[in-house]
Amino acid sequence: MASPNWIKKFRGLAGLVLGLAAALFCAGCGQGGASRVVVIYTSQDEEFAEPLLREFERETGIEVRPVYDSEAVKTVGLVNRLLTERGHPQCDVFWNNEEFRTRQLAARGVFRETNGWTRLGYRTRRLVINTNLITAAAAPRAFSDATNSLWRGKAALAYPLFGTTATHFHALRQHWGDAAWQDWCRALAANKPFLVDGNSVVVKMVARGEAWFGFTDSDDIAGAQREGLPVAALPVTEETLFVPNTVGVIRDCPHPVAAERLYEFIANPKVSEKLVELRALEGPALDPATASRGLRVDWEQLLRDLDAVTGETRAIFLR
């Protein structure tokens, strides 16, 4: 029997309401921007990243859900997480405080195909000294000098399988050649340096006089100087590694529209300038003339050698 007209009208209205609800749901979830949420993984120090992410929230009304790394496994933990999640992304944007691992992710197809990632600002890898224990003139002039027996038990560095320390070691191997690099690593290990969990720990040990000097990042030295601690950075040499920040959008991320807005916000030169003011970065952009003062890196070769060099480093510095 045919349905009465009011039933037909009710069914039509119900279908329209359900259709609109579904459309709104899809706009909120599938398109990302309307959901007003964006998820970011970042190895930038929380004290610097957090105020900027809150500023983005105020400007856009988009809630930022950050996931930070740990000092002990700087960057590598987040990189492994992104690789694991590649088939089902949970993250929208990756803000990394170095370049090498970003390139590793790009080579594995983690970022979107077009405008996947970019660099912003830079830090450097430096030798830091305790100015109460050693003068700049008497200190090791470069990282290669750290194997001198004079410095036995007086140096500190982060465990060289993680973060910028690992990247620096890989770049030094490329600069010196494998045989010379392995000899240097063994001589360094034999000199009994303190192997610690992170670059900030290195600076603290040097500031306390537990180590006379250390391998670390320029922003950690700047942080200690803000606190009035007796540390100084030695000058840039051809063994210095320049370390840009990077930011990228994850392929097939959950919230692509919001991700694009956060990507553009972080990549804006104004953010780099603020990070320079905070001394989280040394400069807002790494130009070729500046970069040429330090290590010149063949990133593709570094990626090809990643597993082999990681194995060699682990065998020498195993703890």
Mean pLDDT of the 244-273 span: 98
For helices 178-190 and 306-317, the axis angle rounded to 10 degrees is: 30
Residue 17 is predicted with a pLDDT of: 38
CB 268 within 8 A of CB 72: no
Name the residue ranges covered by the structural domains of the chain: 30-122+244-292, 124-241+308-317
List the structure tokens of 41. Answer: 């993984």
- Which is nearest to 48 in space by CA: 219, 232, 246, 259? 219
Mean pLDDT of the 179-198 span: 97
How do residues 235-253 score in pLDDT, each as one tens digit?
A: 999 999 999 999 999 999 9
Residue 146 has what DSSP assignment? Answer: G
How do residues 291-319 score in pLDDT, each as one tens digit?
A: 999 999 999 999 999 999 999 999 999 86
- The burial of 191, by beta-carbon neighbours within 10 Å (0-12 exposed, 13-18 middle, 19 or more buried), is given as middle
List the structure tokens of 19. Answer: 């259709």
- The burial of 113, by beta-carbon neighbours within 10 Å (0-12 exposed, 13-18 middle, 19 or more buried), is given as exposed
Predicted confidence band at 19 (pLDDT cuts at 50, 70, 90)?
A: very low
pTM of this structure = 0.87
- Let me know if the fold of 30-122+244-292 is the same as that of 124-241+308-317: yes
Considering only 23-27, 158-162, 281-285, 313-317, which range has the smallest mean pLDDT?
23-27
Using CA atoms, how far apart are residues 195 and 44, in angstroms rounded to an integer? 22
Percent of the chain with pLDDT over 70: 87
List the structure tokens of 108. Answer: 């594995």
For helices 163-176 and 306-317, the axis angle rounded to 10 degrees is: 110
With a cut of 60, say whether residue 20 has pLDDT above it.
no
Give the CATH architecture of domain 30-122+244-292: 3-Layer(aba) Sandwich (3.40)
CATH fold of 124-241+308-317 reads D-Maltodextrin-Binding Protein; domain 2 (3.40.190)
